[in-house]
Structures are given as C-alpha cells and as structure tokens.
Amino acid sequence: MNADSLLPDLPPGARILVIRLRSIGDIILLTPALRLLKEWRPDLRISVMIESRFRELLEGNPAVEEILTPGEGPGWRKVSSRLEVIRGLRKRAFSVCVNLHGGPTSGLLARWSGARWRVGFAHFRGSRRYHIVIPDARTILGQPSLHTAEHQAAVFFYLGLPRKEIPRAQLWAGAAHATWWDAKRQSLGIAAGKSYALVHPTALYKTKEWAPERFAQIGEYLERQACLTPVYSCGPGESPVLDAVEKASGATIRRLEGASLGQFAAALASARLFVGNDSGPAHMAAALARPLVVIFGSSSSSIWGPWPRQSPNPAARVVQNFFDCNPCPGDRCYRFEKPECILSVTFDQVKAAVEAILAQSC
C-alpha cells in the first residue's frame, strides 16, 4: 500500500489508535491534527492513548471518541494492567495504529495493538516493526524547520489527509471544573467580574525558569499598574518556586496549587492574561485563546512557541534573548556557569510584552 492512500482507503467507521503518552505540550499540540482528521472524515473512530494524569486535556474533545491509558501502577500491577490494556486494544480491531511517542512502552503497545497497519517514525527504535515508516517531517512539508503542531500534523498528511492550514489547538474546560474555579477564586479574594492574570513561574528545567524575583516584580506591576490581580500557579512538587516568589515579593501571594489539569483549564479560561515560562500551561493558555506572554530560555521558540504563530486575537508574545547555543537539551547549561539565556531576560522586556498584549487584546 502507498502511504498516501492509507487514510483515504479506510472503510467507513474504521478505528484509529493514536499513541501520544505525554506530555502537556505534545498532547495539546496534537489536537490540531486530530481536528483536521475528524473534519475530513467524520466517520473515523479515533482513540488516543495517553497517561492517565493527562486525560483531562482531551476530555470534551469532539474529535476523540475514546481516551485510553497504557496501564499503570507499581511493580507487577503495572504488568498485569498493561496486559489487560493489550487485550482491550486487540478486541477493538483497530485498522491503524499511529505511534507518535517513540519510547519502548509505546513501541510495545503499537506492536501488540492488533492494528492492521502500524505507523511510526523512521528514527524510532525498532522502526522495522512498522508497516509504514514516516520520514523526517520536514521533508513531508518541505520546510527547514517545523513547529511541533506541524510536525504531528505532517504524519497524517503523509498518510493521505488532504493538506490544509493547521488550525489552533483545542482544550475544553468542563462545567464541573468551572464551578470549582468559581468557588476557588472567591476563596482567593477575587470577586466575580474582577480581572485577574495567571502567572506561572515554574518549568521543567532551571534553564527555562525565569528568576522568582522577576516574577514577583511582574505580579506587583500587574496589580498596581495594569489593575489585574495576579494568581501564581504551579504543578505538583513545585511549591518551593512559589515560596521563592512570595519571599521576593515581601507579601503573601495568591496561590493556585494542587489543581487538576481540568481545574487549571477552567482558571485559564476566564483569565485576562497568562504570563509564564515555556511550559505546558502556556500551551493550555494558547489552546484556550487567552492573551499570553511566554518567556523562553534554553528551548526553541520556533518549535515550542504558542500555536498558531500568528494570531491577531488574542495576541501572543514570546520574550527570548537568543544565544548561539540555543536550543540545547535544557537539563543543564552547557556553556555558562548559570543559564544566561533565561536569566538575561529583563523585567522591562516582559513588562513591554505584557503592555503590548493588553493593548492589542483589550
């Protein structure tokens, strides 16, 4: 079979399994491709496999019929759970399994999915196990570099999805989560109708984390000059970063901690502004069409910046000082004693971006 005839030739109601186990940004940036696929062929039944902690990112998505998890738990419980998952996959009789993850777990699940056609990238370990091997996505679209949303959509274009403009990512905040946020914002002292900004000072690596004292400055500016109540958010295990921001501010800050991804989406959905590091929450804000300012350090903003790149309403701004060592793996600074890429970003740079966004999106 020619790769570009795989999707067009699928029978009506065919089932497709897409494996994209993690993380927040990758899953959010998969949703444009899923949307294109479903709009083109509404009859296709699309299942997406992700880790359970991320499932709220796809809940409510009309392109996704079913959210599956890979089987989790400690020790032998994981083995048993994974075997049960594999049995469930084979019962579903998938026509196609598209592995976008590439690790050993996703490779195992793809191999034993029972799908008639298995699809994976050429650079994946064990690529010979796939019936259709996807080349470098840049060659598919004929571009020297690609955004992650383009990279994932290119796979489906290669398989026969008609090429068209890649839309915005999508995310839904459910009614139950919105109710939760209404109560939570009141507990934070933010009255209904009062404008607020979500400020996210954490990131996966220190090379992506702007200084806590700078975030404290931004919070003060937002409250005193922009008339926006700042709410500082963090993920599991990241409370010490908020502690550092609070210490730098010299006053108690409003914290959003321990929220699920769905609850966090509800908080984002009515925020006037998002300000934060290059992180999963930034992609959530972009998917919810919120005005946002994203501060970049070690990673590539052309690959991981807000999608779409150009969107007049709402506006999105990236603040980044470029170094010739950018991008790098990011787990540490490979050139300087400290990660100068992120630390070199000044308060005035971020303030100027915030002012421009607020003026553009009012």
> What's the pLDDT tens digit per position in 320-360?
999 999 999 999 999 999 999 999 999 999 999 999 999 88
- Whether residue 313 has pLDDT greater than 60: no
Q: Which residue do the tokens 């509800």 mark?
A: 266
3-state class (DSSP) for residue 329: coil
> What's the pLDDT tens digit per position in 228-241?
999 999 999 999 99
Is 72 in the same domain as 30? yes
- Whether residue 293 has pLDDT greater than 90: yes
* Residue 54 C-alpha from the chain's centroid: 10
- Whether residue 169 has pLDDT greater than 80: yes
Q: Give the pLDDT of residue 314.
A: 58
- Whether residue 361 has pLDDT greater than 80: no
Last residue of a domain, one of 95, 130, 158: 158
Domain assignment present for 163: no
> What's the pLDDT tens digit per position in 61-80?
999 999 999 988 888 788 88
Q: Give the pLDDT of residue 251.
A: 93
Q: Give the pLDDT of residue 21.
A: 96
Q: Give the pLDDT of residue 258.
A: 93
Domain assignment present for 311: yes
Domain assignment present for 165: no
CA separation for the pair 293, 67 (Å, rounded): 31
Cβ 212 vs Cβ 276: under 8 Å = no
CA separation for the pair 304, 296 (Å, rounded): 9
Domain assignment present for 164: no
Is 84 in the same domain as 232? no
Domain assignment present for 118: yes
Is 144 in the same domain as 194? no
> What's the pLDDT tens digit per position in 193-225?
899 999 999 999 999 999 999 999 999 999 999
What is the average per-residue pLDDT within 291-301?
96
Domain assignment present for 167: no
Which CATH number do you get for residue 188? 3.40.50.2000
What is the number of domains present in the chain?
2
What six digits make up the tokens of 174? Answer: 């459910």
Is 328 in the same domain as 200? yes
Going 84 to 90 to 95 to 98, the CA torsion angle's sign is positive
Last residue of a domain, one of 103, 129, 158: 158
Is 231 in the same domain as 116? no
What is the average per-residue pLDDT within 294-302?
95
- Whether residue 279 has pLDDT greater than 80: yes
> Residue 334 CB: number of other CB atoms within 10 A?
12
Is 144 in the same domain as 187? no
Q: Give the pLDDT of residue 72.
A: 85
Is 125 in the same domain as 196? no
- Percent of the chain past pLDDT 90, that is, above it, reads 90
Is 201 in the same domain as 275? yes
| Residue 35, domain extent | 3-158
Domain assignment present for 253: yes
Bridge-based pairing state of the strands 66-68 and 292-295: unpaired
CA separation for the pair 201, 244 (Å, rounded): 10
> What's the pLDDT tens digit per position in 85-97?
999 999 999 999 9
> Residue 326 CB: number of other CB atoms within 10 A?
18
Is 295 in the same domain as 199? yes
Domain assignment present for 318: yes
CA separation for the pair 199, 245 (Å, rounded): 11
Give the chain's mean pLDDT. 94
Q: Give the pLDDT of residue 156.
A: 98
Model pTM? 0.94
